[in-house]
Amino acid sequence: MPEVTTHTRSVPLDDGTLDLAWAATTDTGRRREVNQDAVLADYPLFVVADGMGGHLGGEIASASTVDRLRAMVAGGSVSTKNIEKALSRAVKDIISHPETTDEGTGTTLTGVYLETHTDEPHWVTLNIGDSRVYLLRDGEIVQVTTDHSVVQELIAAGRLSPEEAENHPYGNVITRAVGPSDSVKPDYLRLDVLDGDRFVICSDGLTKELTDFGIRHFLEANSDPAAAVEAMLAAALENGGRDNITIVVLDVARRTA
């Protein structure tokens, strides 16, 4: 199991300080030969990408997407506009890569970033596909993002229950991705910045093996982000590790002056 480290950052605010702590890991799992997931956990952006496609297509798609977003972060300006520019560049990278196949090549992209260039700071979640952002707030865990998947559409239409969805044959079929034939505009959602919040950003390799209750359990049992990440990864591998597994845990502490 790879070593996981907790990173920290203090962000000055007009009314105090925001202390962030986070950890991230990605693992091939027990059934796959190649890890097609990629992760970026670099303030102020925390994202997971889960690639798909024949040959090396999925690995190329997720890595290209994360590389373009990493360059955007290094440039110092994270915004919805710049995210979409980075994703458009990633699509061009995917198309032009000599080892990319066009048959279903693409990647999910899910995560959060901190927006501080407004009167009141807030989180912005972004989502394309079926990787997920969870938020643990006041002892309750909520899936913040909505999956772009066939199964989720069936649930929304009342044709499938969440319990039936767990073993549905179309469980891996997503309806939106970053790739040659798809729109690159994510869904966005703004969230308040509150003291004590804990985010989990993960590929479906985690949610195939752990329920929402299980994720909450490991968060509550491990106050340190790295320990929480390691515990969730170990449990997911123990439960089968059927897919690549990528996890980010991000903790928020807000102190007023």
pLDDT tens track, the chain, 257 positions: 668 999 999 999 988 999 999 999 999 999 999 999 999 999 999 999 999 876 678 899 999 999 999 999 998 889 999 999 999 999 999 888 877 666 678 899 999 999 998 788 999 999 999 999 999 999 999 999 988 766 666 666 666 666 656 665 555 666 778 887 656 789 999 999 999 999 999 999 999 999 999 999 999 999 999 999 999 999 999 999 999 999 999 999 999 87
> Taking the model in full, what pTM does it have?
0.92
Q: Compute the distance between CA of residue 173 and CA of residue 152 in angstroms, rounded to an integer.
A: 10
What is the third-level CATH fold of 7-256? Answer: Phosphatase 2c; domain 1 (3.60.40)
Contacts of 151 (CB under 8 A, 6+ apart): 160, 165, 168, 170, 171, 173
SS3 146: coil
